[in-house]
Structure 1
Amino acid sequence: MPTILGQNQYGKAENRVVKITRDGDTHHIKDLNVSIALSGDMEDVHYSGSNANVLPTDTTKNTVYAFAKEYGIASAEQFGIHLARHFVNSQEPIHRARIRIEEYGWERIETSESGSRFIGADEVKHSFVRKGQETRLTQITYDGERWEVISGLKDLVVMNSTNSEFWGYVKDKYTTLPEAYDRILATQVAGRWRFNWTDDTQRAPQWEKSYAQVRKHMLQAFAETYSLSLQQTMYQMGSRIINHRSEIDEVRFSLPNKHHFLVDLEPFGLKNDNEVYYAADRPYGLIEATILRDGCEAHIPQDLTNL
C-alpha cells in the first residue's frame, strides 16, 4: 500500500542552560530547559536518507548556549523568540520553529543571625535556593511571518481552607458523597495563556512583567472567590487575567481537585469541627476549561501536556 509522509519535525529536546549575570558582586540566575522542534522541506531525509536539508540537532543545542552568551536571557519568551527567528531565517529548508521552555526559579538565601552580624535578603548577592512553588513555561512558534507565544506555569499548589462549598449536584443510586457547606478547596494549577502579539510590527509585551501580573491576578481570583464549585473559581481566575491584561486573549486551565476529606473521629469520642482532614492524592476530579476574550478563537491545545 502506498504511503506518504505526514507531519514531522525534529530537534534537540531538554537543553539545560543556566546563565549567570554578574552585576559586580551581585549575581542573577536564569535556569532554562529548552526544547527545539524544526520542520520544513524534510521529505528527502525520510524517503531517501539524504541529510542535505538537515541542520544537526547538535547544532541546535550549541545555538542555545551561544545565544545565552550573545543575547543573554532577559526572559524565557524573548530568548525563545531569538532562537525561533534564527532557525527560520538562517536556514532556507526550515519553515517553522517551535521552541518550548521551562524556567526554574531561584531566590536569594537569607542568612541567619548566627554570624557576627545579620545579613538581610537584599545583601545576599551570590547564594540562592531553588524555588519550589511552580515551573514557568513558554512555547514560541514562528513560520517566518507570524508568531504564536503561549506562556504559562505548572505545579502551582494552592488552597483555600474555607469559603468553599459543594452541594446541589445531581444524585443517583451510586452517589455517596455528602454535601459540603464548608470545605477545603485545593488544586495544583496548570495554566497556559496566549498572547495577541503575532508579528514584528506590533509592540511586544513586557514578558517578565506580564508573567508576574498574570500570576498575581490568578492567585487573587483564587483567594477572593467564594467558591460554590472549582469550575466557578477557575472561570474567575481566567476572566480576571483577561480583564486585567490586554496582551492576553486566551487562558486555559487544567485543575485537579486535591481532595481533603474530614476524618471520622467519633470512634475515639472526639468531635471533628472542620479541623482534621486526610488528603487523598487519587483518584481526583480533573476540571479543565478555556476562557477567551469575547470575539477570539481558541488556539491552546486542550491537552496541556502537548505544549
Structure 2
Amino acid sequence: MPTFELGPNQYGKAEIRLVRVERQAGGDRLTDLNVSVALRGDLAASHLTGDNTAVLPTDTQKNTVYAFAREFGIASIETFAARLAEHFVATQPTIHEARVSIQQHPWQSVDGRHAFRRDGSEVRTATVHHGPYGTQTVSGVTGLVLLKTTESEFHGFAKDKYTTLPEARDRILATSVDATWRTAGPPADPEPARAALVEAFADTYSYALQQTLFAMGSRVLERCPDVVEVRLSLPNRHHFLVDLAPFGLDNPNEVYYAADRPYGLIEGVVRRDGAPIPQEVVWSI
C-alpha cells in the first residue's frame, strides 16, 4: 500500500481590503491597504483528520486586521504588518510562524480637506515574516512606471540568422518598476529608496536596461545606508518608430507605437559588497 505524508502548508486570509480615514482638523488622511495573512505551525491534524482545534479561523484573522487598524492606527505598512505577525504567533500556541503582506494604494488630497485622487498604478509593498528566527521585513514598490524620451541606446548585441532588431542609437526607454529592498535593522522610511530609484533612472545615460537596473540598485544602496540588498524586475515597455514613408512623411523620432507584449524582462539583485545579507525566509508554497 502506498503511503503519503503532508508537506509544507499554511493557511490564512488573503486580500483583506482595508481603508482607514484619520479625521484631522487640517484635512483627513486616507490609507488604502490590501492585507494578506498566512500562518504556519502545528496544523497537520486539520489536514489529516479534520480536527480544527489548532486552527484560528481566517475570519478571526480578518477581524484582527480591522481591530488593529482602529486600536493602533497605521503609522507605516511595515510596522502594521509586524504588529499583526507578532500578535498571531504570540497569542496562538499552535502557530509558530506568520507572514503578513501588505499592498498600499496611494491617494493624494485634491483640496487639502476631504477630496482625494488615486495615484495611477503604483503600489507600496511590505512583507513581514515573524517566527523562531526573529522578524524580517522587505519593503518595496510595484507598478512604478517610468519613461525617458531619449538618452537611451541599444547596439552591439549578439546576432544570429533570426535577428531582425535594428541597432538603436536613440530610443525611448520605458519600464514599470517592481522593486524590493532589505534593511539590516528595523525598516526605514521607504521614500528615500523610492526617490533614489527614480533619480537613477532619470540621470543614467543608458546603453542597456541592464545597466540602468544596476545604476538604480546602486543608487538606493548609496542613499540608504541601512539597505543591504535591492531586487529589481524591469519589463522593457517597447516603443517602436512608426514607418510613415508610405504617406510621404519622415519620422525624426517623434511618432511611436507602444507595444504591450511581448516584452523584454530584465531582473537582478544589487547587494552591498561585504555587508551581511539577511537569510531569506522562503515558504515553498
Q: TM-score range by the shorter chain?
A: over 0.9
Instruction: Determine which of 216, 239, 252 is the counterpart of 1:237.
Output: 216
Aligned match for 1:167, one of 138, 155, 164: 155
Distance 1:300 1:30 in 2: 29
User: What is the aligned length?
Assistant: 282
Q: Secondary structure at the match of 2:19?
A: strand
Alpha-carbon contact 2:175-2:235 (below 8 Å) kept = yes
The match for 1:157 is 145
Conserved in 2, the CA contact under 8 Å of 1:31 and 1:103?
A: yes
Q: 1:132-151 residue pairs with structure 2 within 5 A?
A: 132-151=120-139
Tell me the residue number matched to 2:66. 65
**2:32 aligned partner:** 31
Aligned equivalent of 2:48: 47
Contact persistence 2:38–2:98 (CA under 8 A): yes
Answer yes or no: is 1:260 the counterpart of 2:248: no
> Which residue is equivalent to 1:222?
201
Distance 1:3 1:297 in 2: 37
Q: Structure 1 residues 134, 220: CA separation in 2 closer, same or farther (over 3 Å shift)?
A: same
Amino acid at match of 2:216: M
Give 2:7's aligned residue: 6
Deviation, 1:257, is 0.4
Does the CA contact (< 8 Å) of 2:179 and 2:232 recur in 1?
yes
Equivalent residue, structure 1, for 2:99: 98
The C-alpha deviation readout for 1:137-190, integer Å capped at 9, x for no partner, is: 110000045111111111111101000000001111111111000000001111
Paired letter, 2:163 = T
Aligned to 1:113: none
Distance 1:275 1:300, change over 3 A: farther
CA displacement 1:59-83 (0-9 Å, x = unmatched): 1000000000110001111100110
Say if 1:25 and 1:239 are closer, same or farther in 2 by CA, change over 3 A: closer
Alignment of 1:261-300 (within 5 A): 261-295=240-274, 296-297=276-277
1:176 to 146, 164, 168: 164
Are the equivalent residues in 2 in contact too, given 1:85–1:144 (CA < 8 A)?
no
CA distance in 2 between counterparts of 1:28 and 1:77 reads 18
- Residue 196 of structure 1: which of 184, 187, 191 is its match? 184
Tell me by how many angstroms 1:247 deviates. Answer: 1.7
Structure-2 separation of matches of 1:259 and 1:301: 35
**Partner SS, residue 23 of structure 1:** coil
* Deviation (angstroms), 1:217: 0.4
Give the AA of the match of 1:83: L
Are the equivalent residues in 1 in contact too, given 2:78–2:187 (CA < 8 A)? no
Structure 2 runs not aligned, ≥5 long: none
TM-score when scaled to structure 2? Answer: 0.95
Name the stretch that deviates more: 24-33 or 76-85.
24-33
Q: Deviations over 1:186-215 (max 9, x none)?
A: 011111111222xxxxxx344xxx211111
1: distance between equivalents of 2:19 and 2:45? 36
Measure how far apart 1:24 and its partner are. 2.2
Unaligned runs of 5+ in 1: 111-123, 198-203
- Please state how far the C-alpha of 1:271 moved relative to its aligned partner: 1.1
* Alignment match, 1:201: none
Rounded Cα–Cα distance in structure 1 between residues aligned with 2:171 and 2:76? 39
- Asked if 2 retains the 8 angstrom alpha-carbon contact of 1:253 and 1:289, the reply is yes
| Mapped contact 1:252–1:300 kept (Cα < 8 A) | no
Q: Deviations over 1:85-110 (max 9, x none)?
A: 10011111100000010001110114
Give the deviation of 1:230 after TM superposition.
0.1
Distance in 1 between residues matched to 2:280 and 2:151, nearest whole Å: 31
Q: Give the secondary-structure state (helix, strand or coil) at the position aligned to 1:157.
A: strand
- Tell me the distance in 1 between the aligned counterparts of 2:155 and 2:19: 48
Q: Call closer, same or farther: CA 1:21–1:68 in 2, change over 3 Å.
A: same
Cα RMSD, aligned residues only: 1.8
Work out the percentage of aligned pairs sharing the same amino acid.
51
Q: Which amino acid aligns with 1:68?
A: A
State the distance in 1 between where 2:61 and 2:145 align. 34
Residue 281 of structure 1: SS of its match in structure 2?
A: coil
CA distance in 2, matches of 1:28, 1:275: 41
**Matches of 1:238 and 1:301, distance apart in 2:** 21
2:75 corresponding residue in structure 1:
74
Counterpart CA distance in 1 for 2:19 and 2:149 is 37
Instruction: Check whether the contact 2:129–2:281 (CA below 8 A) recurs between aligned residues.
Output: no
Whether the aligned pair in 1 keeps the contact of 2:137 and 2:187 (CA below 8 Å) is no
